Structure 1
Amino acid sequence: MKEMILYGDRILKRDEVQIDIEDRAYQFGDGVYEVIRVYAGKPFCMQEHLERLEKSAAAIRLRLPEPVSKIRELLLRLLEVEGMRDGNLYLQVSRGVAPRNHAFPPDIKAQLVAYTQPSGRPVRELENGVRAITTQDIRWLRCDIKSLNLLGAVLAKQQAVERGAHEAILIRDGFVTEGSSTNIFGVKAGTLYTHPADHLILHGITRKITLDVARESGIPVREEALAEEELKQCEEVFLTSTTMEICPIVEIDGTPVGTGRPGPITRRLQEGFVRKIGI
């Protein structure tokens, strides 16, 4: 790996990139981001991620520095230069650089940054499952925007790590919303449940693929929030995300989920997902 960075419309060595102290991403978390998974050198669902980037930017009234088609070209060029086979492609757009002031600065140009993160598939977790905890959802009310404001999610994830778990399942007003960095699904009586795609969750790309695979496989689906007590009564629970794919959750708050092993519906969905990514 050459450790190159896409900065604006240029690809530079990491030590050549200088971030201004008054970049609004640094001072306000004023920007949006995406993470695109790369399998065998090919970005998976890049167009869907870029369309979501565009929607997130519009939601915070941020004008992207380039059209999405141009951003796609730049990202593909970065992948070609880096030659990464498997891993993640991270990109973010900040509102730009200006003297610190809460209000939007006039005539500011947004700043694009992207880089690669080599990483294999989480095979062990996909096979064996992971542990999770529950915690209160203290985030803001526009979780559908993939913004750089992630402190609520960071605090939840840290709680999970300190309790020996992989993920924190967030509870708002007694109902499951999503994970700190994932979407959450439960299976009750053979039916798949997940929170509806409203402002309280991120509309995950892998979440959508999972729902598509479920419907194609004849698995009943209900986009309906589970109560916290219902979650712990589910026969199966799993999380979805770009980096974790469809990963079983086998324990919540120290109590096994179902049999304590990945269940049959989770396995069917994993198989369908692997067919989608073509590996």
Structure 2
Amino acid sequence: MSFFFNNHSAQPACTSNVHRPMGGIAGLREVHDDVGRLTVSVFPFAMVKDISLTLAAVPACYILADHATAYIGETGNAGRRLGEHSGDPSKAFAREVYVISGYQRAWFDKTAAIYLQFRLTQIAEQADLVDILKGTNPQVLELPNHKRASLDHFVEHGERLLFDAGCRVLRSNFASQRRKAEAVDTDMAIGPEDTGPMQIDVTGLPPLGSELELAYGDLWARGYPVRDGFVVTAGSEVRSLVNPSVNPILRTRRAELAAADALAIIPGIDDRARLRVAVCFPSAAIAAKVVTGAHVSSGKWVNRRYPEPILIAG
């Protein structure tokens, strides 16, 4: 008992409440306190369809996470958005969902959701405990100082509730579990074949039924395997940001593409570029890494959901 009374922390003591509306242990939990305006709802990703109705039309910032990866989003309708994610192959990594919303709906709006997405993404990238999967970069809002100050309180409060809910994307007393997991997957590592030459401006068409699509956020890319490697087709998008933890060869490949004028700016969009020409990489794994700027595997290339056009006769 003496430890608590003699601990001269600059932070005041606080209490979080955990409510399990459905009972059990690992199902839905709602975490809040008696003085703040936020609540964090946490539940398994597999339960999204069961929970989505309770979050309909709820503005929220949310985190999809496993031990190695996190996706931080914002929405004006958490139920609908999470339902969309449940059918998205690029979100299949998720094991738990953390939804930050207002304890009363009027206390948290779309502006707050956008601001929290931006700030929590910053904090998560600085912590470097997991890889942050992005679609587009979070918005930077132009806000008056008094509004920003209020939302910064939401950030601090949200961090505390997220930690109490079990989220270890922003803070953890353990080292990252990401690197251990990656060491087991040989496809994640840079192999000798990945250092081979990259062929820029190749010609040819994918064999019928062989074209694959990239499952990484909303990044649009197509590719197909060939005898000597993997071709990423012209028109595919290349993420501008390169994660700090990637192998240096990814930056070398990016520099080669830039030097060959193979990347085109997309007007009005600054978080990605577009391939002017098709590029043949030594393997599907290095192709995925270069396109995403992240330490991912060849498993990011998946069968196209809509491989053939649908014709409707009148």
Structure of higher CA gyration radius: 2
Q: TM-score, normalised by structure 1?
A: 0.29
Q: Which of the two has greater strand per residue?
A: 1
